[in-house]
A and B are shown apart, each in its own frame.
Chain A
Amino acid sequence: MKKLLSANQAIAWAAYRAGCRVAAAYPGTPSTEILEHVAEFKGAINCEWSVNEKVAMEIGVGASLAGVRALVAMKHVGLNVAMDPLMTFTYVGAIGGMVIIVADDPSMHSSQNEQDNRSLAKFAKCLLFEPADSQEAYDMVTAGFELSEKYQVPVIVRTTTRTAHTSGIVDIGSGERGEAPGIPYVKNAQRNVAVPAHGRLMRFAVEKRSVVLRELTEASPFNRAEPGTGDLGLVASGVAYQYVKEVFPEAPVFKVGLSQPPPIEKIRAFAAGVKRLAVVEESDPVLAEQIRAAGIPVVEPQTELRMMELNPTRLAALRAELLGTPAPETPKPETGVPVRPPVLCSGCSHRGPFHILSKLKATVCGDIGCYTLGSAPPLAAMDTCICMGAAIGAAIGMRKAGLPNQRIAAVMGDSTFFHSGMTGLLDVAYNRIPITVMVFDNRITAMTGHQENPGSGHTLLGEISTQVRVADVARAFGIQRVHEVEPYDLANLEKVFAECLDGGEPAVVVVRGPCVLHEKWAGKFINEVDAEKCTACGACFRIGCPAIVRGEAKDPAGKRFKSRIDPQFCTGCNLCAQVCKFGAISPAK
């Protein structure tokens, strides 16, 4: 049975077909759709949105130790959060097959860094697959469950944004639900309780396993030489293999699919058949360094291939360099085209709070989510953004550093708060840190495409669940000054924010307003600009609303354009009317 599937869909199908029983993930581009597709199998796989990647990984660990197949998925930086359980689980070892999907994001299409997680698979001494397309994602997840069980090793499948979001034709066999042989659970403390005495034994077992895994990778059909002509041989992994096949169609290629541990002896044999060997891999030189360390010469091209996504155009430059041919002529991009950055939607509940934070000149430690867009001009209301949950710790650090600005705020969304903001808030409460933690609660994980979370009141499968209130958590932690406010009343926001920021004690403000995109929320009216009253002062432009566009008319001096409101995008949130000092904005008749 053949279907057109993205790698994310193919992974869900592979889990379904392989008899996977438990799946857990925290949403993160480009991995998010995996669990959404798992959920489409209507409960065949017990699946959940976990509150963070560490919990997801631990759920996978428990399921594997209980003897069933488990799938865990996360974006690349999610693995940082989940490294703690992984580093010891690799000692304990899998029982039921454990496949971990880690989606790297070369070029940082929607991420804060470009870390290459293949190094972490080496660090964790586990197996790592690099699929080059959707079919391989399907095949490697299928094989991953089997190998994980057979060698008691966690198996990582490293996708990238390009593979995750490329669709191709995938053969999914019969398409029917598969059954894995459940392995009966046996209590075994020496195996499953990682204390020093047991850990030392496990340490030796891990090294023994690594020897076996090196033999396995040499024999794996996922690692293969493809014959060709010419003196130049190319080693390629992941999607880079596809670019090599496109740009070097005649060359001998060694395709690495099971890339950790790398099949060094097979590559040595391949290298012996060519005069020069080049390694094409996306991001860090993980394979190249291991191949060189084995004493196999690898050419070091001048063409830059280490940063950002590869593509056929970049490989054409590599080809020209390695084969000494002139670089192909490609059309140059047009210049002077304004960039089109993503922006907060019209009606977004985050716009008003950022406008006020900007007005109050607060130092704002931000976090990961739609609201990170509040850092961009014209709102420009953010000082830092590091990783999930970091806003609070960073704000504490700024306060402890003695920053002259007394108005220090940490800003994060509801899902980020539940992910890893709660621990930071507990630190604020415990150490009595006078900062204001603001949770912009739109009751959904918006940036990744509207996934449920503990504040939304629903689970991954859409079941009704506990709806955790951020304010209740703050009060339970012992924070005295806790406010819940609505996002569209600027005067009230200013009053509450100023009180908290100047209050000299820990404070929490929860700004509660649903995501306008998710709930297709619209006000009771849309606004319009009275061109007679508009002075072209530009105040409404500075809230950065996509519905506020340049009008036809100019101010009397003929310098600045008056504003106009695009009725197609106005939601009637009415923020613009509140920032207009001239009463020029009011509901359209």
Chain B
Amino acid sequence: MSITLDRIFNVSLVGVGGQGILLTSDVLALAAMHAGLDVKKSEIHGMSQRGGSVISQVRFGARVHSPIIPDGQSDVLVSFERMEALRFAHLAKPGAKILVNDMDRIPVTVSSGLQAPVEDLDRRLAAYSGLTLIDANPLAIKAGNLRAANVVLLGALSAFAPFADEHWQAALRERIPAKLLEINLRAFAAGRDAVR
């Protein structure tokens, strides 16, 4: 079953290398394709496995041109840890949904004292009206594996994206290895329940 959209829907996913951002955005883009939409998924992952910041953007609609979302135009911003949410908050539309995994990955330059930590992270994040913190790590462990925290966040995102359950199911089955599917389906459902 296809859906129609009268505008481009924009999702930015940000975090740290190794957190499963690229897989998450793959599933999102596949869901858009299964929903019969044009889609572009753009990511910068040259240094992704070395602990650097990672960003992936997914856009879908009737016809998508630019792979990059204009600043301030993301309908949903998903951040896989807290500080990256602040770094990329300007990508979100004013008042847009900002879904953040409630955990911190401290950069080595901060832990070793070369850079100062963010001052007042709690308050600065809370200034964004669309902010929702999600305990993705404990929910993933409960679903069967900490590594499924990315799919918990995807489940949370699914509550704000215009796809039917069949589109998500098809995308998840296409991208996730069969032996890990059950855990990830549980993680997805847990994420969705967490924001309802």
Q: How close is B123's CB to chain A, nearest CB, in angstroms?
A: 12
Using C-beta atoms within 8 Å of the partner chain, give the interface range for chain A: 35 or more
A-B contact count (CB 8 A): 162
Known A-B contacts A110-B46, A330-B70; the reply to A340 vs B16 at CB < 8 A is yes
B residues less than 8 Å from A549 (CB atoms): 106, 111
Chain B residues numbered 82-132 whose CB sits less than 8 Å from any CB in chain A = 83-84, 86-87, 89-90, 92, 94, 106-119, 124
Verify A338–B52 contact, CB threshold 8 A.
no
- Within the complex, the shortest CB–CB distance from A272 to chain B, in Å, comes to 26
Contact partners of A333 in chain B: CB under 8 A: 87, 89-90
Q: Contacting chain A: which of B60-68, B159-167, B178-186, B187-195?
A: B60-68
Q: Is A178 an interface position by the 8 A CB rule? A: no
Q: Are B87 and A548 in contact (CB under 8 A)?
A: no
B68 / chain A contacts, CB cutoff of 8 Å: 162, 243, 311-312
Cβ of A544 within 8 Å of any chain B Cβ, yes or no, is yes
Across the interface, which residues of A come within 8 angstroms of B33, CB to CB? 2, 4, 169
Chain A residues within 8 Å of B112, by CB: 378, 538, 541-542, 544, 548
For window 519-545 of chain A, which residues contact chain B by CB distance below 8 Å? 538, 541-542, 544-545
Q: Which residue of A lies closest to B81 (CB)?
A: A340
Within 8 A of B (CB), among A555-579: 560-561
Q: Is the CB of A242 closer than 8 A to any CB of chain B?
A: yes
A341 and B42 in contact (CB under 8 A), knowing A331-B90, A550-B106?
A: no
Per-position binary interface string of chain A over residues 202-246, scored 1 when its CB falls under 8 Å from any chain B CB and 0 otherwise: 000000000000000000000000000000000000010011011
Report the Cα distance A463→B134, complex, angstroms.
45
Instruction: Identify the interface centre among A247, A334, A337: most chain B CB within 10 Å of its CB.
Output: A337
**Does chain A have a CB within 8 A of B78?**
no
When chains A and B are docked, how far (Å) is the Cα of A549 from the Cα of B66? 40
Chain A residues numbered 449-503 whose CB sits less than 8 Å from any CB in chain B: 449
- The reply to whether the CB of B2 lies closer than 8 angstroms to some CB of chain A is no
Contact with B along A295-324 (1 / 0, CB 8 A): 000000000000000011100100000000
Judge whether A167 and B40 touch: CB under 8 Å. Answer: yes
Q: How far is the CA of A106 from the CA of B64 in the complex (A)?
A: 22
| Given A109-B46, A243-B66: A330 touches B83 (CB 8 Å cut-off) | no
Contacting pair B67 A162 (CB below 8 A) = yes
B40 lies within 8 A of A168 (CB): yes
B114 and chain A: residue at smallest CB distance: A377
Residues of A within 8 A of B115 (CB): 338-339
Residues of B within 8 A of A169 (CB): 33, 38-39
Per-position contact with A for B147-170: 1 when CB-CB < 8 Å, else 0? 000000000000000000000000
Kindly list chain A residues whose C-beta atoms are within 8 Å of the C-beta of B39. 4, 167-169
Across the interface, B40 reaches (CB within 8 A) one of A166, A336, A344, A517, namely: A166
| Contact A334 B90, beta carbon cutoff 8 Å | yes
* B173 at the binding interface (Cβ < 8 Å): no
B53 touches A (CB below 8 Å)? yes
B111: which A residues are within 8 A, CB to CB?
A: 541, 546, 548-550
- Find the residue from A163, A165, A378, A550 having the highest chain B CB count within 10 A: A165
Could you tell me if A29 and B46 are in contact, using CB atoms closer than 8 angstroms? yes
Is A400 part of the binding interface, using a Cβ–Cβ cutoff of 8 Å? no
Most B CB contacts (10 A, CB to CB) among A133, A312, A338, A370 go to A338
Question: Please, could you name 19 A-B residue pairs with CB atoms under 8 Å apart, sorted by A?
Answer: A161-B44, A166-B42, A166-B67, A239-B67, A242-B66, A243-B68, A245-B65, A246-B70, A312-B70, A313-B70, A336-B116, A336-B119, A337-B83, A338-B83, A338-B109, A338-B116, A339-B109, A343-B50, A538-B112
A161-B44, A167-B41, A334-B89 given; name 8 further pairs at CB < 8 Å: A109-B46, A169-B38, A313-B70, A333-B87, A340-B84, A341-B109, A538-B113, A550-B106
Mark A residues whose CB is within 8 Å of B.
2, 4, 29-30, 109-110, 133, 161-163, 165-169, 239, 242-243, 245-247, 311-313, 316, 329-334, 336-345, 370, 373, 377-378, 449, 517, 538, 541-542, 544-546, 548-550, 560-561
* Chain B residues within CB distance 8 Å of chain A: 16-17, 26, 29-30, 33, 38-47, 49-53, 64-72, 83-84, 86-87, 89-90, 92, 94, 106-119, 124
